[in-house]
Structure 1
Protein backbone atom coordinates (compact mmCIF):
# COMPACT_ATOMS: atom_id res chain seq x y z
CA UNK A 1 0.00 0.00 0.00
CA UNK A 2 3.05 2.28 0.05
CA UNK A 3 2.45 3.31 -3.56
CA UNK A 4 -1.19 4.22 -2.91
CA UNK A 5 -0.16 6.18 0.20
CA UNK A 6 2.33 8.23 -1.80
CA UNK A 7 -0.13 8.89 -4.64
CA UNK A 8 -2.74 10.13 -2.16
CA UNK A 9 -0.16 12.26 -0.35
CA UNK A 10 0.84 13.86 -3.66
CA UNK A 11 -2.77 14.63 -4.51
CA UNK A 12 -3.49 16.15 -1.10
CA UNK A 13 -0.32 18.27 -0.92
CA UNK A 14 -1.10 20.06 -4.20
CA UNK A 15 -4.81 20.25 -3.45
CA UNK A 16 -4.15 22.01 -0.12
CA UNK A 17 -2.08 24.63 -1.90
CA UNK A 18 -5.00 25.40 -4.23
CA UNK A 19 -7.69 25.31 -1.53
CA UNK A 20 -6.81 27.43 1.53
CA UNK A 21 -10.05 26.32 3.23
CA UNK A 22 -8.47 22.90 3.84
CA UNK A 23 -5.88 24.15 6.31
CA UNK A 24 -8.22 26.83 7.64
CA UNK A 25 -10.69 24.13 8.71
CA UNK A 26 -8.01 21.73 10.00
CA UNK A 27 -6.29 24.44 12.04
CA UNK A 28 -9.59 25.54 13.58
CA UNK A 29 -10.37 21.93 14.56
CA UNK A 30 -6.93 21.64 16.17
CA UNK A 31 -7.37 24.95 17.98
CA UNK A 32 -10.75 23.77 19.32
CA UNK A 33 -9.16 20.47 20.50
CA UNK A 34 -11.37 18.41 18.19
CA UNK A 35 -8.33 16.77 16.57
CA UNK A 36 -4.62 16.76 17.40
CA UNK A 37 -3.36 16.91 13.82
CA UNK A 38 -4.77 16.98 10.31
CA UNK A 39 -4.26 13.27 9.68
CA UNK A 40 -6.81 12.56 12.44
CA UNK A 41 -9.51 13.60 9.96
CA UNK A 42 -11.17 10.68 8.17
CA UNK A 43 -11.33 11.31 4.43
CA UNK A 44 -14.72 10.02 3.26
CA UNK A 45 -13.95 10.26 -0.45
CA UNK A 46 -12.03 12.15 -3.11
CA UNK A 47 -13.43 13.07 -6.51
CA UNK A 48 -12.10 13.55 -10.02
CA UNK A 49 -13.63 14.96 -13.19
CA UNK A 50 -12.83 13.65 -16.67
CA UNK A 51 -13.81 13.96 -20.33
CA UNK A 52 -15.74 11.01 -21.75
CA UNK A 53 -13.80 10.68 -25.00
CA UNK A 54 -11.59 8.06 -26.61
CA UNK A 55 -8.43 7.27 -24.56
CA UNK A 56 -9.68 9.26 -21.56
CA UNK A 57 -12.69 9.33 -19.23
CA UNK A 58 -13.64 6.82 -16.57
CA UNK A 59 -12.45 3.80 -18.57
CA UNK A 60 -8.92 5.17 -18.54
CA UNK A 61 -8.73 6.91 -15.18
CA UNK A 62 -10.22 4.09 -13.11
CA UNK A 63 -7.29 1.80 -14.03
CA UNK A 64 -5.11 3.68 -11.57
CA UNK A 65 -7.25 2.92 -8.53
CA UNK A 66 -8.35 -0.54 -9.64
CA UNK A 67 -4.65 -1.37 -9.71
CA UNK A 68 -4.40 -0.36 -6.05
CA UNK A 69 -7.17 -2.72 -4.98
CA UNK A 70 -10.23 -0.52 -5.31
CA UNK A 71 -13.44 -2.19 -6.53
CA UNK A 72 -15.90 -0.58 -8.94
CA UNK A 73 -19.32 -0.03 -7.38
CA UNK A 74 -22.53 1.79 -8.40
CA UNK A 75 -22.98 3.82 -11.57
CA UNK A 76 -24.72 7.20 -11.70
CA UNK A 77 -26.20 9.27 -14.54
CA UNK A 78 -26.80 13.01 -14.37
CA UNK A 79 -29.15 13.89 -17.21
CA UNK A 80 -29.13 17.69 -16.99
CA UNK A 81 -25.39 17.99 -16.53
CA UNK A 82 -24.72 15.26 -19.11
CA UNK A 83 -22.46 13.23 -16.86
CA UNK A 84 -21.77 9.60 -16.01
CA UNK A 85 -20.07 8.57 -12.78
CA UNK A 86 -18.94 5.57 -10.71
CA UNK A 87 -17.71 5.21 -7.18
CA UNK A 88 -14.96 2.86 -6.05
CA UNK A 89 -14.63 1.07 -2.73
CA UNK A 90 -11.15 1.15 -1.16
CA UNK A 91 -9.13 -1.97 -0.30
CA UNK A 92 -9.64 -1.20 3.41
CA UNK A 93 -11.23 1.43 5.63
CA UNK A 94 -8.02 3.45 6.01
CA UNK A 95 -8.47 4.84 2.52
CA UNK A 96 -11.03 7.20 1.01
CA UNK A 97 -13.68 6.10 -1.45
CA UNK A 98 -13.11 7.38 -5.00
CA UNK A 99 -15.76 9.13 -7.10
CA UNK A 100 -15.00 9.57 -10.82
CA UNK A 101 -17.29 11.43 -13.21
CA UNK A 102 -17.06 12.06 -16.94
CA UNK A 103 -18.68 14.47 -19.37
CA UNK A 104 -20.73 12.73 -22.09
CA UNK A 105 -19.12 14.80 -24.84
CA UNK A 106 -20.93 13.29 -27.84
CA UNK A 107 -24.35 14.63 -26.81
CA UNK A 108 -23.25 18.28 -27.02
CA UNK A 109 -23.71 20.57 -30.05
CA UNK A 110 -21.12 20.13 -32.78
CA UNK A 111 -19.41 23.44 -31.99
CA UNK A 112 -18.86 22.41 -28.35
CA UNK A 113 -17.66 18.93 -29.32
CA UNK A 114 -15.24 20.49 -31.80
CA UNK A 115 -13.74 22.73 -29.11
CA UNK A 116 -13.37 19.91 -26.59
CA UNK A 117 -11.96 17.41 -29.08
CA UNK A 118 -9.49 19.94 -30.49
CA UNK A 119 -7.78 19.50 -27.11
CA UNK A 120 -8.53 15.92 -26.16
CA UNK A 121 -7.62 14.59 -29.62
CA UNK A 122 -4.03 15.45 -28.73
CA UNK A 123 -4.17 12.35 -26.50
CA UNK A 124 -3.72 9.64 -29.13
CA UNK A 125 -3.52 6.61 -26.82
CA UNK A 126 -4.63 5.78 -23.30
CA UNK A 127 -2.03 7.61 -21.16
CA UNK A 128 -2.62 5.36 -18.13
CA UNK A 129 -1.44 2.37 -20.17
CA UNK A 130 1.94 4.06 -20.49
CA UNK A 131 2.40 4.38 -16.71
CA UNK A 132 4.17 2.10 -14.31
CA UNK A 133 1.39 2.13 -11.71
CA UNK A 134 3.78 0.73 -9.09
CA UNK A 135 5.88 3.89 -9.38
CA UNK A 136 4.19 6.48 -7.16
CA UNK A 137 6.28 9.39 -8.44
CA UNK A 138 5.37 8.57 -12.03
CA UNK A 139 1.65 8.41 -11.20
CA UNK A 140 1.85 11.60 -9.14
CA UNK A 141 3.54 13.45 -11.99
CA UNK A 142 0.90 12.22 -14.43
CA UNK A 143 -1.99 13.39 -12.23
CA UNK A 144 -0.54 16.89 -12.14
CA UNK A 145 0.66 17.22 -15.73
CA UNK A 146 -0.94 18.70 -18.83
CA UNK A 147 -2.89 16.24 -20.98
CA UNK A 148 -3.38 18.75 -23.77
CA UNK A 149 -2.29 22.28 -24.66
CA UNK A 150 -3.28 25.23 -22.50
CA UNK A 151 -6.76 26.34 -23.61
CA UNK A 152 -7.57 29.80 -24.91
CA UNK A 153 -9.79 32.03 -22.80
CA UNK A 154 -12.16 32.24 -25.77
CA UNK A 155 -12.64 28.45 -25.82
CA UNK A 156 -12.98 28.35 -22.03
CA UNK A 157 -15.69 31.02 -22.12
CA UNK A 158 -17.61 29.24 -24.89
CA UNK A 159 -17.61 26.04 -22.85
CA UNK A 160 -18.73 27.96 -19.76
CA UNK A 161 -21.88 29.02 -21.60
CA UNK A 162 -22.92 25.41 -22.25
CA UNK A 163 -21.23 23.30 -19.55
CA UNK A 164 -19.34 24.73 -16.59
CA UNK A 165 -18.14 21.19 -15.89
CA UNK A 166 -16.55 21.04 -19.38
CA UNK A 167 -14.83 24.38 -18.84
CA UNK A 168 -13.50 23.23 -15.45
CA UNK A 169 -11.96 20.07 -16.88
CA UNK A 170 -10.51 21.69 -19.99
CA UNK A 171 -8.40 23.93 -17.76
CA UNK A 172 -7.95 21.98 -14.50
CA UNK A 173 -7.59 18.50 -16.01
CA UNK A 174 -7.09 15.75 -13.37
CA UNK A 175 -6.47 18.03 -10.40
CA UNK A 176 -8.25 16.76 -7.33
CA UNK A 177 -11.75 18.26 -7.45
CA UNK A 178 -12.46 17.81 -3.74
CA UNK A 179 -11.78 15.81 -0.64
CA UNK A 180 -14.40 15.07 1.99
CA UNK A 181 -14.26 15.39 5.77
CA UNK A 182 -16.20 12.65 7.58
CA UNK A 183 -17.92 14.35 10.51
CA UNK A 184 -19.61 11.39 12.23
CA UNK A 185 -16.40 10.25 13.98
CA UNK A 186 -15.50 13.67 15.35
CA UNK A 187 -16.08 14.82 18.93
CA UNK A 188 -19.56 15.59 20.20
CA UNK A 189 -20.67 18.99 19.00
CA UNK A 190 -18.96 18.44 15.65
CA UNK A 191 -20.19 14.95 14.74
CA UNK A 192 -23.39 15.90 12.91
CA UNK A 193 -23.44 17.87 9.69
CA UNK A 194 -25.78 20.47 11.17
CA UNK A 195 -23.35 21.15 14.03
CA UNK A 196 -20.33 21.03 11.72
CA UNK A 197 -21.91 23.54 9.34
CA UNK A 198 -22.47 25.86 12.31
CA UNK A 199 -18.76 25.53 13.14
CA UNK A 200 -17.83 26.34 9.52
CA UNK A 201 -20.02 29.44 9.59
CA UNK A 202 -18.27 30.64 12.76
CA UNK A 203 -14.86 30.42 11.09
CA UNK A 204 -16.20 32.17 7.96
CA UNK A 205 -16.09 29.25 5.55
CA UNK A 206 -18.65 29.82 2.79
CA UNK A 207 -20.97 26.91 1.98
CA UNK A 208 -22.80 26.19 -1.26
CA UNK A 209 -26.57 26.42 -0.97
CA UNK A 210 -27.28 24.49 -4.18
CA UNK A 211 -29.93 21.96 -3.16
CA UNK A 212 -29.86 23.48 0.34
CA UNK A 213 -26.90 23.83 2.67
CA UNK A 214 -27.40 20.16 3.64
CA UNK A 215 -28.14 17.65 0.88
CA UNK A 216 -29.94 14.61 2.30
CA UNK A 217 -30.52 11.20 0.72
CA UNK A 218 -34.15 9.96 0.62
CA UNK A 219 -33.38 7.40 3.34
CA UNK A 220 -32.02 10.20 5.54
CA UNK A 221 -28.79 8.30 6.18
CA UNK A 222 -26.36 10.27 3.98
CA UNK A 223 -25.98 14.00 4.55
CA UNK A 224 -23.56 16.16 2.56
CA UNK A 225 -22.50 19.79 2.32
CA UNK A 226 -19.69 21.57 0.51
CA UNK A 227 -17.80 24.83 0.40
CA UNK A 228 -18.06 27.16 -2.54
CA UNK A 229 -15.06 26.57 -4.81
CA UNK A 230 -12.16 28.88 -4.19
CA UNK A 231 -10.94 30.97 -7.08
CA UNK A 232 -7.50 30.36 -8.51
CA UNK A 233 -5.51 32.40 -11.01
CA UNK A 234 -5.58 30.69 -14.39
CA UNK A 235 -3.15 31.59 -17.17
CA UNK A 236 -4.61 30.80 -20.56
CA UNK A 237 -2.95 30.63 -23.98
CA UNK A 238 -1.07 33.80 -24.96
CA UNK A 239 -0.54 34.61 -21.29
CA UNK A 240 -4.08 35.88 -20.65
CA UNK A 241 -5.03 35.52 -16.97
CA UNK A 242 -8.37 35.18 -15.24
CA UNK A 243 -9.60 33.95 -11.87
CA UNK A 244 -11.63 30.77 -12.29
CA UNK A 245 -13.16 28.06 -10.12
CA UNK A 246 -10.62 25.70 -8.62
CA UNK A 247 -11.43 23.01 -6.07
CA UNK A 248 -13.46 22.84 -2.86
CA UNK A 249 -14.03 20.85 0.34
CA UNK A 250 -16.96 18.53 0.99
CA UNK A 251 -18.36 17.24 4.29
CA UNK A 252 -20.29 14.02 4.88
CA UNK A 253 -22.28 12.45 7.68
CA UNK A 254 -23.03 8.76 7.25
CA UNK A 255 -25.57 7.55 9.78
CA UNK A 256 -25.65 4.08 11.30
CA UNK A 257 -27.82 1.61 9.38
CA UNK A 258 -31.04 0.63 11.21
CA UNK A 259 -29.92 -2.98 11.69
CA UNK A 260 -26.84 -1.81 13.62
CA UNK A 261 -28.44 0.83 15.84
CA UNK A 262 -28.09 -1.48 18.84
CA UNK A 263 -24.28 -1.40 18.66
CA UNK A 264 -22.40 0.82 21.14
CA UNK A 265 -20.69 3.80 19.53
CA UNK A 266 -17.17 2.44 20.11
CA UNK A 267 -18.07 -0.68 18.11
CA UNK A 268 -19.35 1.19 15.05
CA UNK A 269 -17.18 0.73 11.95
CA UNK A 270 -17.50 2.03 8.40
CA UNK A 271 -19.38 -1.13 7.36
CA UNK A 272 -22.14 -0.32 9.86
CA UNK A 273 -22.91 3.05 8.29
CA UNK A 274 -24.70 4.15 5.10
CA UNK A 275 -22.47 3.31 2.14
CA UNK A 276 -22.27 4.59 -1.41
CA UNK A 277 -23.56 7.87 -2.79
CA UNK A 278 -26.81 9.55 -3.78
CA UNK A 279 -27.27 10.94 -7.30
CA UNK A 280 -29.48 13.85 -6.21
CA UNK A 281 -26.94 14.92 -3.59
CA UNK A 282 -24.00 14.62 -5.99
CA UNK A 283 -25.87 16.55 -8.68
CA UNK A 284 -25.95 19.61 -6.42
CA UNK A 285 -22.44 19.10 -5.04
CA UNK A 286 -21.12 19.49 -8.62
CA UNK A 287 -22.41 23.07 -8.52
CA UNK A 288 -19.84 24.10 -5.91
CA UNK A 289 -17.64 25.16 -8.85
CA UNK A 290 -20.45 26.88 -10.75
CA UNK A 291 -20.78 30.64 -11.24
CA UNK A 292 -24.18 30.58 -9.52
CA UNK A 293 -22.35 29.77 -6.26
CA UNK A 294 -19.06 31.59 -6.75
CA UNK A 295 -20.90 34.85 -7.43
CA UNK A 296 -22.21 34.71 -3.86
CA UNK A 297 -18.78 34.97 -2.24
Structure 2
Protein backbone atom coordinates (compact mmCIF):
# COMPACT_ATOMS: atom_id res chain seq x y z
CA UNK A 1 0.00 0.00 0.00
CA UNK A 2 2.89 2.36 0.69
CA UNK A 3 4.13 1.64 -2.83
CA UNK A 4 0.72 2.60 -4.20
CA UNK A 5 0.70 5.89 -2.27
CA UNK A 6 4.23 6.82 -3.36
CA UNK A 7 3.49 5.82 -6.97
CA UNK A 8 0.38 8.01 -6.93
CA UNK A 9 2.34 10.97 -5.64
CA UNK A 10 5.07 10.53 -8.21
CA UNK A 11 2.75 10.00 -11.19
CA UNK A 12 0.88 13.27 -10.59
CA UNK A 13 4.09 15.09 -9.78
CA UNK A 14 5.66 13.98 -13.07
CA UNK A 15 2.59 15.10 -15.02
CA UNK A 16 2.92 18.59 -13.61
CA UNK A 17 6.70 18.98 -13.50
CA UNK A 18 8.18 18.61 -17.01
CA UNK A 19 11.72 18.69 -15.64
CA UNK A 20 11.19 15.25 -14.07
CA UNK A 21 10.71 13.47 -17.37
CA UNK A 22 13.31 15.66 -19.03
CA UNK A 23 15.97 14.78 -16.42
CA UNK A 24 15.14 11.08 -16.62
CA UNK A 25 15.21 11.12 -20.43
CA UNK A 26 18.62 12.81 -20.43
CA UNK A 27 19.97 10.30 -17.89
CA UNK A 28 18.79 7.36 -20.01
CA UNK A 29 20.07 8.90 -23.25
CA UNK A 30 23.55 9.46 -21.79
CA UNK A 31 23.66 5.97 -20.23
CA UNK A 32 23.56 6.99 -16.56
CA UNK A 33 20.58 4.69 -16.00
CA UNK A 34 18.64 2.15 -18.06
CA UNK A 35 15.20 3.23 -16.90
CA UNK A 36 13.47 5.43 -14.33
CA UNK A 37 13.30 2.57 -11.82
CA UNK A 38 17.11 2.74 -11.52
CA UNK A 39 16.86 6.12 -9.78
CA UNK A 40 17.20 6.05 -6.01
CA UNK A 41 14.74 8.58 -4.57
CA UNK A 42 16.58 10.20 -1.64
CA UNK A 43 13.52 12.00 -0.28
CA UNK A 44 10.23 13.64 -1.11
CA UNK A 45 8.97 16.85 0.49
CA UNK A 46 5.68 18.42 1.47
CA UNK A 47 4.77 21.94 2.58
CA UNK A 48 2.01 22.62 5.13
CA UNK A 49 0.37 25.40 7.14
CA UNK A 50 0.68 25.53 10.93
CA UNK A 51 -3.03 26.03 11.61
CA UNK A 52 -5.59 24.17 13.74
CA UNK A 53 -6.40 20.63 12.51
CA UNK A 54 -3.76 20.71 9.76
CA UNK A 55 0.00 21.09 9.43
CA UNK A 56 2.63 18.54 10.29
CA UNK A 57 0.71 16.99 13.18
CA UNK A 58 -2.02 15.99 10.72
CA UNK A 59 -0.08 15.02 7.59
CA UNK A 60 2.55 13.01 9.46
CA UNK A 61 -0.11 10.59 10.72
CA UNK A 62 -0.31 9.06 7.25
CA UNK A 63 3.38 8.26 7.05
CA UNK A 64 3.74 7.22 10.69
CA UNK A 65 0.94 4.72 10.00
CA UNK A 66 3.04 3.23 7.19
CA UNK A 67 6.09 2.73 9.39
CA UNK A 68 7.99 5.99 9.04
CA UNK A 69 9.83 7.29 12.12
CA UNK A 70 9.86 10.97 13.05
CA UNK A 71 13.44 12.22 13.33
CA UNK A 72 15.11 15.63 13.69
CA UNK A 73 13.48 19.05 13.91
CA UNK A 74 14.72 22.08 11.95
CA UNK A 75 13.80 25.73 12.43
CA UNK A 76 14.04 28.45 9.77
CA UNK A 77 13.65 31.76 11.59
CA UNK A 78 13.78 34.10 8.59
CA UNK A 79 11.29 32.06 6.56
CA UNK A 80 9.07 31.43 9.63
CA UNK A 81 9.17 27.68 9.11
CA UNK A 82 9.61 24.50 11.10
CA UNK A 83 10.35 21.11 9.58
CA UNK A 84 10.93 17.48 10.46
CA UNK A 85 12.24 14.52 8.52
CA UNK A 86 10.98 10.96 8.68
CA UNK A 87 13.03 7.82 8.24
CA UNK A 88 11.44 5.14 6.04
CA UNK A 89 10.47 1.65 7.23
CA UNK A 90 12.89 0.07 4.76
CA UNK A 91 15.86 1.45 2.75
CA UNK A 92 14.13 1.14 -0.63
CA UNK A 93 11.70 3.90 0.35
CA UNK A 94 12.45 7.63 0.26
CA UNK A 95 12.93 9.73 3.35
CA UNK A 96 10.16 12.29 3.87
CA UNK A 97 10.65 15.96 4.73
CA UNK A 98 7.63 17.94 5.92
CA UNK A 99 7.81 21.67 6.56
CA UNK A 100 5.23 23.90 8.21
CA UNK A 101 4.62 27.64 8.06
CA UNK A 102 4.50 29.35 11.46
CA UNK A 103 1.31 31.19 10.58
CA UNK A 104 1.14 32.93 13.96
CA UNK A 105 4.44 34.69 13.13
CA UNK A 106 2.96 36.41 10.07
CA UNK A 107 1.22 39.80 9.95
CA UNK A 108 -2.43 39.98 11.00
CA UNK A 109 -3.42 40.61 7.38
CA UNK A 110 -1.66 37.45 6.19
CA UNK A 111 -3.06 35.40 9.08
CA UNK A 112 -6.58 36.60 8.36
CA UNK A 113 -6.27 35.58 4.71
CA UNK A 114 -4.92 32.13 5.57
CA UNK A 115 -7.54 31.47 8.24
CA UNK A 116 -10.31 32.59 5.88
CA UNK A 117 -9.47 29.45 3.89
CA UNK A 118 -8.16 26.94 6.41
CA UNK A 119 -10.90 27.91 8.86
CA UNK A 120 -13.26 25.83 6.72
CA UNK A 121 -11.49 22.74 8.10
CA UNK A 122 -13.24 22.04 11.42
CA UNK A 123 -11.44 18.82 12.37
CA UNK A 124 -8.26 16.96 11.47
CA UNK A 125 -9.22 15.31 8.14
CA UNK A 126 -6.70 12.49 8.58
CA UNK A 127 -8.53 11.18 11.66
CA UNK A 128 -11.49 10.19 9.48
CA UNK A 129 -9.35 8.80 6.66
CA UNK A 130 -9.07 5.03 6.30
CA UNK A 131 -5.28 4.82 6.38
CA UNK A 132 -5.41 1.18 5.29
CA UNK A 133 -7.05 2.21 2.01
CA UNK A 134 -4.18 3.36 -0.20
CA UNK A 135 -6.59 4.70 -2.84
CA UNK A 136 -8.34 6.86 -0.24
CA UNK A 137 -4.98 8.19 0.97
CA UNK A 138 -3.88 8.90 -2.59
CA UNK A 139 -7.12 10.79 -3.29
CA UNK A 140 -6.74 12.78 -0.07
CA UNK A 141 -3.17 13.85 -0.86
CA UNK A 142 -4.31 15.25 -4.19
CA UNK A 143 -7.57 16.80 -3.05
CA UNK A 144 -8.42 20.31 -1.97
CA UNK A 145 -8.47 20.90 1.78
CA UNK A 146 -9.91 24.39 1.32
CA UNK A 147 -11.48 26.38 -1.49
CA UNK A 148 -9.42 27.77 -4.35
CA UNK A 149 -7.92 31.12 -3.35
CA UNK A 150 -8.49 34.40 -5.15
CA UNK A 151 -5.60 35.85 -7.10
CA UNK A 152 -5.76 38.98 -4.92
CA UNK A 153 -5.27 36.94 -1.75
CA UNK A 154 -2.46 34.95 -3.36
CA UNK A 155 -0.60 38.14 -4.27
CA UNK A 156 -0.95 39.63 -0.79
CA UNK A 157 0.46 36.46 0.74
CA UNK A 158 3.27 36.26 -1.82
CA UNK A 159 4.40 39.77 -0.92
CA UNK A 160 5.01 38.63 2.67
CA UNK A 161 5.72 34.88 2.37
CA UNK A 162 6.22 33.15 -0.96
CA UNK A 163 5.96 29.87 0.93
CA UNK A 164 2.49 30.84 2.22
CA UNK A 165 1.33 31.75 -1.28
CA UNK A 166 2.65 28.47 -2.71
CA UNK A 167 0.81 26.39 -0.09
CA UNK A 168 -2.48 28.31 -0.22
CA UNK A 169 -2.76 27.36 -3.89
CA UNK A 170 -0.99 23.98 -4.04
CA UNK A 171 -2.08 22.49 -0.69
CA UNK A 172 -0.33 19.13 -0.08
CA UNK A 173 0.93 18.83 -3.62
CA UNK A 174 4.32 17.10 -3.74
CA UNK A 175 6.93 19.86 -3.58
CA UNK A 176 9.87 17.86 -4.93
CA UNK A 177 11.53 14.49 -5.24
CA UNK A 178 15.25 13.98 -5.02
CA UNK A 179 17.65 12.00 -7.20
CA UNK A 180 20.44 10.32 -5.21
CA UNK A 181 23.49 10.95 -7.36
CA UNK A 182 26.12 9.08 -5.32
CA UNK A 183 25.18 5.71 -6.83
CA UNK A 184 25.40 6.91 -10.43
CA UNK A 185 28.36 6.13 -12.73
CA UNK A 186 31.69 7.86 -12.18
CA UNK A 187 31.67 11.41 -13.46
CA UNK A 188 28.02 11.83 -12.48
CA UNK A 189 28.11 10.52 -8.90
CA UNK A 190 28.81 13.87 -7.26
CA UNK A 191 26.54 16.91 -7.16
CA UNK A 192 29.30 18.90 -8.90
CA UNK A 193 29.52 16.39 -11.74
CA UNK A 194 25.76 16.00 -12.01
CA UNK A 195 25.22 19.77 -12.05
CA UNK A 196 27.56 19.96 -15.05
CA UNK A 197 25.45 17.31 -16.78
CA UNK A 198 22.23 19.18 -15.93
CA UNK A 199 23.44 22.54 -17.19
CA UNK A 200 24.83 20.96 -20.35
CA UNK A 201 21.29 19.72 -20.96
CA UNK A 202 19.76 23.15 -20.42
CA UNK A 203 18.40 22.83 -16.89
CA UNK A 204 18.39 25.99 -14.77
CA UNK A 205 19.75 25.50 -11.25
CA UNK A 206 18.83 27.27 -8.03
CA UNK A 207 21.87 29.39 -7.15
CA UNK A 208 20.65 30.74 -3.78
CA UNK A 209 23.66 30.25 -1.52
CA UNK A 210 25.54 28.79 -4.49
CA UNK A 211 24.49 26.05 -6.90
CA UNK A 212 25.83 23.44 -4.48
CA UNK A 213 24.48 23.59 -0.93
CA UNK A 214 26.95 21.88 1.42
CA UNK A 215 26.50 20.85 5.06
CA UNK A 216 29.15 22.06 7.56
CA UNK A 217 30.54 18.52 7.84
CA UNK A 218 30.90 18.38 4.06
CA UNK A 219 29.05 15.09 3.83
CA UNK A 220 25.69 16.23 2.44
CA UNK A 221 25.66 18.14 -0.83
CA UNK A 222 22.48 19.22 -2.58
CA UNK A 223 21.31 21.14 -5.64
CA UNK A 224 17.96 21.74 -7.29
CA UNK A 225 16.37 22.93 -10.48
CA UNK A 226 14.40 26.16 -10.45
CA UNK A 227 10.65 25.52 -10.40
CA UNK A 228 9.03 26.10 -13.78
CA UNK A 229 6.11 28.49 -13.96
CA UNK A 230 2.66 26.97 -14.40
CA UNK A 231 -0.71 28.44 -15.33
CA UNK A 232 -2.77 28.50 -12.14
CA UNK A 233 -6.52 29.05 -12.24
CA UNK A 234 -7.77 31.05 -9.27
CA UNK A 235 -11.26 31.62 -7.88
CA UNK A 236 -13.46 33.33 -10.44
CA UNK A 237 -11.45 31.81 -13.29
CA UNK A 238 -8.54 34.24 -13.20
CA UNK A 239 -5.35 32.69 -14.59
CA UNK A 240 -1.89 33.65 -13.39
CA UNK A 241 1.53 32.07 -13.66
CA UNK A 242 2.94 30.76 -10.40
CA UNK A 243 5.85 28.53 -9.39
CA UNK A 244 5.20 24.83 -9.69
CA UNK A 245 7.42 22.12 -8.19
CA UNK A 246 11.05 21.25 -8.86
CA UNK A 247 13.63 18.43 -8.81
CA UNK A 248 16.38 18.11 -6.23
CA UNK A 249 19.68 16.20 -6.29
CA UNK A 250 21.57 14.87 -3.28
CA UNK A 251 25.00 13.41 -2.63
CA UNK A 252 25.49 11.65 0.70
CA UNK A 253 29.11 10.82 1.34
CA UNK A 254 30.29 7.64 3.04
CA UNK A 255 30.90 8.24 6.74
CA UNK A 256 34.55 8.14 7.86
CA UNK A 257 34.11 4.96 9.90
CA UNK A 258 33.02 3.11 6.76
CA UNK A 259 35.61 4.55 4.39
CA UNK A 260 37.45 1.21 4.31
CA UNK A 261 34.50 -0.62 2.74
CA UNK A 262 34.68 -1.42 -0.98
CA UNK A 263 32.15 0.44 -3.10
CA UNK A 264 30.19 -2.77 -3.76
CA UNK A 265 29.44 -3.10 -0.03
CA UNK A 266 28.28 0.47 0.62
CA UNK A 267 24.64 0.66 1.68
CA UNK A 268 22.41 3.59 2.65
CA UNK A 269 23.23 3.10 6.35
CA UNK A 270 26.91 3.76 5.63
CA UNK A 271 26.28 7.25 4.30
CA UNK A 272 25.55 10.61 5.90
CA UNK A 273 21.98 10.59 7.18
CA UNK A 274 19.43 13.30 7.93
CA UNK A 275 19.27 16.84 6.58
CA UNK A 276 20.90 20.22 7.10
CA UNK A 277 18.97 23.41 7.91
CA UNK A 278 21.42 25.61 6.00
CA UNK A 279 21.03 23.54 2.83
CA UNK A 280 17.25 23.26 3.10
CA UNK A 281 16.88 26.99 3.71
CA UNK A 282 18.25 27.70 0.24
CA UNK A 283 16.52 24.76 -1.46
CA UNK A 284 13.16 26.23 -0.38
CA UNK A 285 13.92 29.16 -2.67
CA UNK A 286 13.55 27.02 -5.81
CA UNK A 287 9.93 28.25 -5.88
CA UNK A 288 10.75 31.87 -4.97
CA UNK A 289 10.60 34.70 -7.50
CA UNK A 290 14.31 35.51 -7.26
CA UNK A 291 14.95 32.05 -8.72
CA UNK A 292 11.90 31.37 -10.90
CA UNK A 293 12.35 34.58 -12.90
CA UNK A 294 15.35 32.83 -14.48
CA UNK A 295 13.11 30.20 -16.04
CA UNK A 296 10.36 32.49 -17.30
Q: Cα distance, 1:211 vs. partner?
A: 0.8
2:254 to 237, 253, 256: 256
Q: How does 1:20-35 map to 2 (within 5 A)?
A: 20-35=18-33
Tell me the CA shift for residue 33 of structure 1: 1.4
Shift of 1:56: 0.2
1:38 aligns with one of 36, 39, 54: 36
Whether 1:240 and 2:235 are equivalent positions in the alignment is no
Q: Distance in 2 between matches of 1:197 and 1:263?
A: 27
Provide the rounded CA distance (Å) in 2 between the counterparts of 1:97 and 1:89.
Answer: 5
Does residue 186 of structure 2 align to residue 188 of structure 1? yes
The match for 1:92 is: 90
Question: 1:1-297 to 2 correspondence within 5 Å?
Answer: 3-297=1-295
Distance apart, 1:232 and its partner CA:
1.1
SS of equivalent residue, structure 2 residue 240: strand
Aligned-pair distance for 1:154?
0.3
Aligned Cα root-mean-square deviation (Å): 0.5
- Secondary structure at the counterpart of residue 275 of structure 1: coil
Q: Report how many residues are paired.
A: 295
SS of the aligned residue for 1:284 comes to helix
TM-score (norm 1): 0.99
Q: Aligned equivalents of 2:8 and 2:97: distance in 1?
A: 18
Name the SS for the 1:154 alignment partner. Answer: helix
Structure 1: unaligned runs, 5 residues or longer: none
What are the superposed Cα offsets for residues 207-227 of structure 1, whole Å, 9 maximum, x if unpaired? Answer: 000010000000000000000
Aligned counterparts of 1:55 and 1:201: Cα–Cα separation in 2: 42
Mapped partners of 2:77, 2:278: distance in 1: 11
Give the TM-score of the pair, scaled to structure 2: 0.99
Runs of 4+ that moved beyond 2 A = none
| Offset, 1:236 | 0.3
CA distance in 1 between counterparts of 2:80 and 2:278 reads: 14
CA distance in structure 2 between the aligned counterparts of 1:295 and 1:21, rounded to whole angstroms: 16
5+ long unaligned stretches in structure 2: none
